[in-house]
Structure 1
Amino acid sequence: MKVIIVGGVAGGASCAARLRRLDEDAEIVMVEKGPYVSFANCGLPYHVGDVIERESDLLVASERLFREHFRVDCRTGCEAVRVDPVAKTVDLRDVGTGDVTTESYDKLVLAPGARSIRPPIPGIDLRGIFQVRTVPDAREIREWIERGTSFLAGMEKYSGFQTVRPKMHAVVVGGGFIGLEMAENLVARGFDVTVLELADQVLTPLDLEYGNLVRNFLELHGVHVVVGDGVARFERNDEGEALTVTTQSGRTFPADLAILSLGVRPETELAQQAGLEIGERGGIRVDEHMRTSDPDIFAVGDAVEVRDFVTGEWSLIALAGPANRQARIAADVIAGRDSAFRGTQGTSIVGLFGDAIAWTGASEKTLQRLGDTDYEKIYLYPNSHAGYYPGARPIAMKLIFRKSDGRVLGAQAAGEDGVDKRISHIALAIQLGATVFDLEQAELCYSPPYGSAKDPINFAGMVAADVLRGDLPLSHWESIDGGFVLDVREMPELAVESVPGAVNIPLGQLRDRLHEVPRDRAVHVVCRSGQRAYTAARLLRQRGIDAHVVSGGMLSRAIVSMK
């Protein structure tokens, strides 16, 4: 059997290695049009920021490794330009010489990835404007930065005295993964950074309140964030290499360099030429076995459409984890094994200035777009580990679940510590079809430096389960306007922040002042995070009062008000 794999990096390279482990006799040809067959493109921003100092550390595997360890005919600088699915041949062009050769195949795997979106904005091809997709991209950015810093240092030396060196300016166009990671790393390199995002929030997979939480955090660390305003044009200044970036609203920003991070589109030209089905989202349509509409052609990675595990919608997910799993499945099926891709939840995490924001599954705005009303949400703020052990930090969590059966649908979390493992736990729970009752009962590692006896996962499950059992009727800030709000915090807390129109009865006084609470309408109970409000609501409900806990308390009000 002869298998040709088009594209390396995550999908193609993983498929080649897995297939060789399953079939020692297969003839495997892997072609990659770029200079590197397998590299860590997720690490590129950190190489620009000097966190990863050596470029060689980004290179995961070489042509030589694939040839010697896996007996794979690996060819870099080799582009697949045409597929004949009837004759089962692929035309390959040598990027350096332009020579074209034809190879036959029994099975073909397409792993072409996705290309950066580069709209026809005036001035977009000027020097100093970069994208971040490949190792050469990162190299060019580093060289540009080093030339700029060397120039400033030379000016100091030429002047003969030490001056206050002006900051260089960078404009990052796009507030997604790469854009925000580049913003962080450019700040580390001494730049004054502005992020421009056309949408109304950064990190659009998040719900708006969490996107705005990230925005505020970026601004606390000196990043200027502009949302709802896209780039209209780039212009070269009269002096030197500096740019002026003008937005659609007419605002202007100086830039010694600009980063384009506008997202990616699937590379589907080869698939379209071969007559393969392209899905409604613009990716190559595949089944659960990663087969395209041609049973002898498979596709994996950023170029394909896959089912969203929670909603069942077709989706495009440009993430290394799903690409690797899809590649393994394609290799299994080619080797005769029964293997299937379950779909994706879009589980992701972004680290920014020591904090992390992570998410998995369906967002609330996705469910609203689909017209799904069978869900509830809770906000909670547990500590990352036991509060009495030094270093505990709160995690801002949002859990979304089915009202009808408690099935976990999605989660978002932000904080300094422990965010990754909590979202990872919930991601696994979603894939296993778990409910909030399962989270409530989950047995997780506990030691004071690492967690709590009631882990944030358990805590989330307990709160959600209490909601479904009717022990904890919920209210949300967006739905209590005009209602009776009971604030059970202490007086000193009110001096910091208060709710207009709320009646304050501290929890310790509530039993003696029940006569002040109305019995003819719903009562929305508020505290700082929801815990005291829960205790108060249980007391009130057992006294015949229709009490509801405002989910997440004042902490949730702070982020919901950012909408």
Structure 2
Amino acid sequence: MRVVVIGGVAGGMSAATRLRRLDEHAEIVVFERGDYVSFANCGLPYHVGGVIEERDALLLQTPESLRSRFELDVRTRHEVIGIDAAAQTVRVRDLRDGSETTHAYDRLIIAAGAQASEVFDQHIDGPTVATLRTIDDLDRVNAALADGPARVVVAGGGFIGLEAAENLVLAGHDVTLVQRGRHPLSPLDTEMAAAVIDELHTHSVQVRTGTTVRMLDADGTHLDDGTVIGCRLVVDARGVRPASALAREAGLRIGPTGGIAVDGHQRTSDPRIFAVGDGVEKIDAVSDRETLVTMAGLANRHGRTAADAIAWEAGLLDAEPDAAADALGTAIVSVFGLAVATVGWSERDLVAAGRAHRVIHAHPTDHAGYYPGAERLTMKLMVDAETDAILGAQVSGRAGVDKRIDVIATAMHAGLTASHLSRLELAYAPPFGSAKDPVNMLGYIADNRAAGTGDSIQWHELDGALADGATLIDVRSPAEHASGAIPGSVNVPLDDLRRRIGELPDGDLVVHCQVGQRGHTAARILAQRGRAARNLDGGYLTWKAGARMTMEETS
């Protein structure tokens, strides 16, 4: 069997090496148009910042090492320029001399990845422009900054843009982050993005939102709001789109997202051709609809799935392998000392889709509060209002973020309900967690909501409730209230609530504390004494973050 692989990074090399482990006799040829294969593209920004000191540490394999260990025929600087599906051949151009050759295949794996969604025109006297997707990109960035500290514009505030901004600052450069949307890291909901902006400002990153780069020239970077930023380098991190042209020209089916359509075993519309990686359409686990997710973990897993399917077709496996799981989009990024993670859908996504949902905020510490070094987490859980299914989560903080998002992602994959999070048995010792882990806390709140023992209101709904005549009761201590309060709130500390319940005005009540826990207790006291009250979900901290972001967006 002769297998040709187009693309030698995450998905392509995962498929090639897995197939070799299953089939010692197959002829496996990998064509890669770049100079390098199997490199750690997710680590590129960290070499810019000096965190990964040695460039060679990013080069995980070479054509020579892959031939020696896996007997793979890996050809760099070779670009596949055409696929003849009927003849089962590919046309390949050797980029070193321009010569072209034709190669036959029994099975073909397309792992061409993604490409920049837009391209800046490089002005001859303007700043250097570079992305951060390949080793060549990395070298271009380092060359542009070789003369020492410089002004750098990072266009795009997604995962790569934030990693680039952080590491450029660590390397001593002056960074301006330009974001088209309302805030960096657009998958986050508004109130959850406040901590990201605070962290960027703390480290002197200038954040420009609601604007884009219009053009580049000798004066620097021109934004569409009229601002001109003189700079030496522009890092283009505005996002990517599937590199699906080869597949389209070969007559393969392209999905509604623009990615290559595949089945659960990564087969395209031609059963002899498979596709994996960033150029391939995935199925969203929440909506069961087509989506694009450009994550290295998915690319590697789908490469393995394709190899297993090919081996099964060849009679090398006893049973058909499992289909690839639907995509949750689990992701995490470091913004200086802050970790920010997401999985599934945001509240904004759910509102746009018109899907009934409940939202839960919590602000626990990453481990027992009495043990030194405890750090506060900010957590948000999206729950299906009818089934109690977990629809998504967002977590930020300085410790323990990865652990919590991974537990929630695993629960989503397993189909656990939000209430079931309260019943998970998670590792506990004071340096690592609490007897009631933060994930358990989300589950307790979800269980209360599902059982009808915890009516709540969101931070962005508060103004409307107050305008309709509700009274806001702050059940924190007088000192907490004095240090910062929601306008119009009446301070009645929780420990005094039973004694002073007669002082509360008639009508609807909304209660709040700092993070939501005392507010829930206050709402239960009031409910059992004949006064209905809603708890402000996430308390003062969530309201403060959301209100500040709203003011910045409208100013």
Q: TM-score range by the shorter chain?
A: over 0.9
Once superposed, what is the RMSD of the aligned Cα atoms? 1.4
1:501 to 475, 485, 488: 488
* C-alpha contact 2:116 2:239 (8 A) present in aligned 1: yes
Partner of 1:58: 58
Deviation at 1:339, TM superposition (A): 2.5
| Alignment-mate amino acid for residue 66 of structure 2 | F
Partner Cα separation in structure 1 for residue 333 and residue 530 of structure 2: 46
Partner of 2:530: 544
| Alignment-mate amino acid for residue 402 of structure 2 | D
Deviation at 1:503, TM superposition (A): 1.7
Deviations for 1:430-484, whole angstroms, at most 9, x for unmatched residues? 1111112221000011111111111001111011111111111111122233221
Partner of 2:79: 79
* C-alpha contact 1:124 1:233 (8 A) present in aligned 2: no
2:257 to 281, 299, 322: 281
The count of residues paired between Structure 1 and Structure 2 equals 537
Partner of 1:385: 367
| Alignment-mate amino acid for residue 39 of structure 1 | F
The 5 A counterparts of 1:131-210 are 131-146=131-146, 148-149=147-148, 168-210=150-192
* C-alpha contact 2:191 2:542 (8 A) present in aligned 1: no
Partner Cα separation in structure 2 for residue 491 and residue 463 of structure 1: 26
| Alignment-mate amino acid for residue 460 of structure 1 | L
The 5 A counterparts of 1:127-526 are 127-146=127-146, 148-149=147-148, 168-237=150-219, 244-336=220-312, 337-373=320-356, 375-481=357-463, 482=466, 483-518=470-505, 521-526=507-512
* C-alpha contact 1:202 1:212 (8 A) present in aligned 2: no
Deviation at 1:245, TM superposition (A): 1.2
| Alignment-mate amino acid for residue 287 of structure 1 | D
Deviation at 1:121, TM superposition (A): 5.0
Partner Cα separation in structure 1 for residue 193 and residue 289 of structure 2: 23
Partner Cα separation in structure 2 for residue 555 and residue 219 of structure 1: 19
Partner Cα separation in structure 2 for residue 227 and residue 95 of structure 1: 40
* C-alpha contact 1:170 1:256 (8 A) present in aligned 2: yes
| SS of equivalent residue, structure 2 residue 432 | coil
* C-alpha contact 1:116 1:133 (8 A) present in aligned 2: no
| SS of equivalent residue, structure 2 residue 137 | helix
Partner Cα separation in structure 2 for residue 46 and residue 279 of structure 1: 34
* C-alpha contact 2:474 2:492 (8 A) present in aligned 1: yes
* C-alpha contact 2:88 2:106 (8 A) present in aligned 1: yes
Normalised to the residue count of structure 1, the TM-score between the two structures is 0.93
* C-alpha contact 1:361 1:410 (8 A) present in aligned 2: yes
* C-alpha contact 2:153 2:177 (8 A) present in aligned 1: yes
Deviations for 1:74-96, whole angstroms, at most 9, x for unmatched residues? 11111111111101111111110
Partner of 2:315: none
In structure 2, the CA distance between the partners of 1:36 and 1:234, relative to structure 1 (3 Å rule), is same
Alignment gaps of 5+ in structure 2: 313-319, 551-555
* C-alpha contact 2:364 2:376 (8 A) present in aligned 1: yes
* C-alpha contact 2:120 2:129 (8 A) present in aligned 1: no
Identity, in percent, stands at 45
| SS of equivalent residue, structure 1 residue 294 | coil
Partner Cα separation in structure 1 for residue 177 and residue 459 of structure 2: 30
| SS of equivalent residue, structure 2 residue 433 | coil
Deviations for 1:261-313, whole angstroms, at most 9, x for unmatched residues? 11111111211111111111111111111111111111000001111111122
* C-alpha contact 1:412 1:423 (8 A) present in aligned 2: yes
* C-alpha contact 2:157 2:237 (8 A) present in aligned 1: yes
* C-alpha contact 1:518 1:545 (8 A) present in aligned 2: no
In structure 2, the CA distance between the partners of 1:513 and 1:421, relative to structure 1 (3 Å rule), is same
Deviation at 1:100, TM superposition (A): 1.2
Partner Cα separation in structure 2 for residue 113 and residue 80 of structure 1: 13
Partner Cα separation in structure 2 for residue 121 and residue 64 of structure 1: 37
In structure 2, the CA distance between the partners of 1:127 and 1:484, relative to structure 1 (3 Å rule), is closer
Partner of 2:13: 13
1:559 to 539, 542, 545: 545
Deviation at 1:143, TM superposition (A): 2.2
| Alignment-mate amino acid for residue 170 of structure 1 | V
Normalised to the residue count of structure 2, the TM-score between the two structures is 0.94
Deviation at 1:518, TM superposition (A): 4.0
1:119 aligns with 2:119: yes
Partner Cα separation in structure 2 for residue 448 and residue 489 of structure 1: 26
Partner Cα separation in structure 2 for residue 338 and residue 17 of structure 1: 17
Partner Cα separation in structure 2 for residue 394 and residue 127 of structure 1: 41
